[in-house]
Chains A and B, each alone.
Chain A
Amino acid sequence: DVKVTQSSRYLVKRTGEKVFLECVQDMDHENMFWYRQDPGLGLRLIYFSYDVKMKEKGDIPEGYSVSREKKERFSLILESASTNQTSMYLCASISRGMGNTEAFFGQGTRLTVV
Chain B
Amino acid sequence: LAKTTQPISMDSYEGQEVNITCSHNNIATNDYITWYQQFPSQGPRFIIQGYKTKVTNEVASLFIPADRKSSTLSLPRVSLSDTAVYYCLVGDPRDSNYQLIWGAGTKLIIKP
Contacts and interface: CB of A to CB of B under 8 A. Distances in A.
- Chain B interface category by residue count: 20 to 34
Interface in B87-106: 93-105
Interface string A34-53: 01000000110100101100
Interface stretch (A11-19, A68-76, A77-85, A95-103): A95-103
B95 A96 contact: yes
Query: Which DSSP category, helix, strand, loop or mixed, fits chain B's interface?
Result: loop
Interface in A56-114: 56, 58, 88, 90, 92, 94-98, 100-108, 110
A94 B98 contact: yes
Contacts, number: 67
Contact of B46 (A43, A50, A96, A103): A103
B41 interface: yes
21 contacts: A30-B96, A31-B98, A35-B102, A42-B105, A45-B102, A50-B96, A92-B100, A96-B93, A96-B94, A97-B94, A98-B94, A101-B49, A101-B93, A102-B46, A102-B49, A103-B34, A105-B44, A106-B43, A107-B42, A107-B43, A108-B42
Given A97-B94, A103-B46, 19 more contacts: A42-B102, A43-B44, A45-B99, A45-B102, A48-B99, A48-B100, A51-B96, A56-B99, A58-B99, A94-B98, A95-B93, A96-B93, A96-B98, A102-B34, A103-B100, A105-B45, A107-B42, A107-B43, A108-B41
